[in-house]
Structure 1
């Protein structure tokens, strides 16, 4: 019996399968290991407009959404609503920054750049708009790439320009490790000052020659006011040289009206001169007249 038990134990041991050895994974490539870093800066920018915006301004808004991967869209806001509602909309969309395009009279476009909901905020008149599709430049950049921000030296000379510079840095710079952004930089946002206005340009960085090729869009921002709050509040700066588009159109109408009045005066003066030069007859005709 003991021999049978020993033979059964030996047969059971032989039936057990031998587990294969697990090999540890080894890296073959020499590329450095990139550790996943948490997305700490979670600033989002809400970009939308009011009703009555023109087709060119709508394409400009879409260009900004394409250039900024950390942006969010929203439906058009009714013109009757007050601007303070934008703070509530941005809070619902979980956005800390906002770019709002306000259209008036289907002619004039105003651009608000705000830090919601506490402020500050700035209001600009948008002039000389040229969109990407309209320009058809040679430059090109991949969608979602992070931009470099280039500012003119004059931004550090005055307090209101320095405040706008910090506001643009927080709004237009794509947060690092953003889920929708690419991990490289291939284009530049350029902000330059000329004639007390901000000129915006977008350039591609050409790697071969380290040159810049313009992509678009183009626009000029004429600053109107800087507010302490978001879409309102105490005024921190007001542009003294700003002239509204309504005043410019009224001045042009007055100039045209003055031209018409001047033409009438010139015609009257010419007629009076013609009457004076007209021949009145022989002065001796009245000598031989008798009563």
Structure 2
């Protein structure tokens, strides 16, 4: 067996190897790479924050297949979302969903609540402090039903566009802010620096690990008849086949619809998460139960009119009897 080196000899060999190799990388901290000669200000300036906010997407039990397909279409469109199991839609669903959002390390929630197998309600909430919006979903058309010609890459970041009506009233401004971003304050762990960063629901965060670094489709939110209409379009740009696109081809850009389609009718805006003080209530909202009851009353009214018409006919016949015909029994003899 060879002889063991002394401790002093090993230290000398290690020093020689360190000198021959490249410079040692600086020590890594929670806020970035730490250099011994730099000041605290330079450390704070080198902080690169990555928005890791996620959205939890879930639904209630006994949801219909059509609404479940709509939820899955939205899951495909939002690369920064997490899908969870179904939740029982009870009065205590708010506490359950807030706990799920915390366990999944998310900051926002999209909850599809189906009632009576017919009515679909969408909850958009910032957890755990709010605000939250309850909306009725109408005119649902999934991507499987439409079969449109548009097609965009899965995971690419969308461009959010809003109609000018969103800036006219405060409740539309709040709804627009919830769809895009709500600012909050983060305190750095080892410094006194405070910055505000956005939380997105439909807008994919920049540099997200599951998203692509470019835009190739557009989310359109427009207001008509006090309803929010959602459309998804692909940005189609014909080019000659090279790697770069000519400026002349950029002018020929067109939008091709991809899907899905749906319409949102705002019901209430709450100050908390899935509840709390009511900030706004839609005065023109009529629940689907009331609409169905009115339709039943109209059908019942038709039957009642028929019964009354028969009774009037009998009363008229009794009040105006026919005269006896002299020749009625002539050919019987």
Question: TM bucket by the smaller chain?
Answer: 0.7 to 0.9
Alignment match of 2:60 (pick from 46, 50, 60): 50
Q: CA separation in 2, counterparts of 1:128 and 1:261? A: 33
Q: CA separation in 2, counterparts of 1:250 and 1:217? A: 30
Q: Does the aligned pair in 2 maintain the 1:139–1:215 contact within 8 Å?
A: yes
Alignment match of 1:196 (pick from 221, 226, 248): 226
Q: What is the TM-score with the length of structure 1 in the denominator? A: 0.82
Structure 2 partner of 1:71: 81
Structure 2 stretches lacking a partner, 5+ long: 1-46, 182-200, 239-251, 326-333
Q: Does 1:186 align with 2:216?
A: yes
Three-state SS of the structure 2 residue aligned to 1:83 is: helix
Could you tell which deviates more after superposition, 205-214 or 185-194? Answer: 205-214
The Cα RMSD (Å) is: 1.5
Q: CA separation in 2, counterparts of 1:230 and 1:79? A: 15
Q: Displacement of 1:273 after TM fit?
A: 2.7
Q: Does the aligned pair in 1 maintain the 2:94–2:273 contact within 8 Å?
A: no
Runs in 1 of length 4+ with deviation above 4 angstroms? Answer: none
Alignment match of 1:143 (pick from 146, 154, 172): 154
Could you tell which deviates more after superposition, 152-161 or 207-216? Answer: 207-216
Q: Deviations over 1:237-260 (max 9, x none)?
A: 000010111111111111111111
Q: Displacement of 1:40 after TM fit?
A: 1.7
Three-state SS of the structure 2 residue aligned to 1:190 is: strand
Q: What is the TM-score with the length of structure 2 in the denominator? A: 0.71
Work out the number of aligned pairs and report it: 246
Q: Does 1:265 align with 2:275?
A: no
Structure 1 stretches lacking a partner, 5+ long: 1-36, 283-291
Q: CA separation in 1, counterparts of 2:101 and 2:60? A: 14
Rg larger for: 1
Alignment match of 2:102 (pick from 87, 91, 94): 91
Structure 2 partner of 1:21: none
Structure 2 partner of 1:206: 236
Structure 2 partner of 1:8: none
Q: Displacement of 1:39 after TM fit?
A: 5.7
Q: Deviations over 1:58-77 (max 9, x none)?
A: 10010011000000010001
Structure 2 partner of 1:118: 129
